[in-house]
Amino acid sequence: MKKVINNPENVVNEMVEGFIAAFGNDYKKVHHTNGVVIKNKPNRVAVVTGGGSGHEPLFIGMVGEGLADGAAIGNVFAAPTPNTVLEVTKELDSGQGVLYVYGNYSGDVLNFDMAAELAELEDITTKTVLVNDDVASATKEHAFDRRGIAGDIFAIKIAGAAANDNLTLEEVARITQKAANHTRSIGVALSPSSIPSTGKYTFEIADDEIELGMGIHGEPGVKRTKLQTADELTANMLDYIFDDIELQENDEVCVLVNGLGSTTLMELFIVNRKVVEILNEKGISIYDTDVNSYCTTLEMAGVSITLMKLDDELKNYYDKPAYSPYYFKKGRG
């Protein structure tokens, strides 16, 4: 796969430099790390996200007003170092503590936890909410083992709004955990991505096959099938979510139809068309919809569908305005 890069070893450094070159009025790089933070964080709980690179605009694109205050990123598909997380934490803490919100991957958990211990030595309190929305990545009984995918978007949105409400760290964590608990996703991969440093594809798949439930680093999914129509595929994907979370008539949800990289917005709209049809049939009310490529896997082709079930508290925080160059809500209510 041809890529527009320089030295493959430098892609993450140069990406961060290019981000700051574009948006340096509002963002800064944390010295000697690949951490990015907003300038002028308000005096309240901080929200930090992060993970491996290759999922852009996640994670740095979810740093902004009413969103995360900072992101600690690692190399492509690799966790940020504990030091990166720690430096971002120190940069942002103003005494009220720091909430870590990120996808449930063992490498990320290890390094964020280590940073939390180091932060404690410097009298910074942290709490953690792990996003584990991917229903295909473990059974319901082992939901704590599930991976985080595009559900990160909703969890970060809610966390940022709750922090902006000047709540305690405990409260911001509680509400964000609820957002994570109310969120389910499933993805499908059509084609692999290739890692810049090796040029190698992350997996192989036949020209007429797709893999349901494949993870955003190419982790094995639940079923490899022949290519399906968008409508069949959407219905099959939603069935996994409906089997996992109780959704009744008149329940309200937020919908995210997320592209994994090279899947076009045209295709995402075609999927959304069927998502809405199915939710309407079930009498489930759609409060808000996003159709975009927020949580990608480099140039992988594929799509994920995420639903977040709302209650009054989540709706209140979802309604708050949010702004980054890659995620924008005007706010309502």
d(C-alpha 318, C-alpha 329), whole Å: 9
d(C-alpha 184, C-alpha 309), whole Å: 9
**CB of residue 275 to its own copies, shortest distance in Å:** 8
* Cβ distance to its own copies smaller for residue 86 or 255: 255
**CB of residue 265 to its own copies, shortest distance in Å:** 4
| Catalytic pick among 31, 32, 142, 217 | 217
- Answer whether 152's CB lies under 8 Å from 62's CB: yes
The residues, ordered by sequence, that sit 6+ positions from 97 with a Cβ below 8 Å of its Cβ are 45, 46, 124, 125, 126, 127, 169
**CB of residue 127 to its own copies, shortest distance in Å:** 30
| Catalytic pick among 31, 32, 55, 142 | 55
* Cβ distance to its own copies smaller for residue 130 or 255: 255
55 given a catalytic annotation: yes
CB-side exposure of 280: number of CA atoms within 13 Å? 6
H or E stretch covering 178: helix 169-181
DSSP per-residue letters across 45-103: -EEEEEEEESSTTTTGGGBSBTSBSEEEEEEETSPPPHHHHHHHHHHH--SS-EEEEEE
* Cβ distance to its own copies smaller for residue 242 or 328: 328
* Cβ distance to its own copies smaller for residue 83 or 289: 289
**CB of residue 5 to its own copies, shortest distance in Å:** 5
- Name the site residues for its own copies (rule: CB under 8 A): 2-6, 11-12, 14-19, 21-23, 53-54, 56-57, 61, 188, 190-191, 196, 207-208, 210, 227, 229-231, 233, 255, 257, 261-273, 275-277, 289-292, 296, 298-299, 301, 303, 323, 325-326, 328, 330
**Residue 147 DSSP symbol:** P
- Catalytic residue numbers read 55, 217
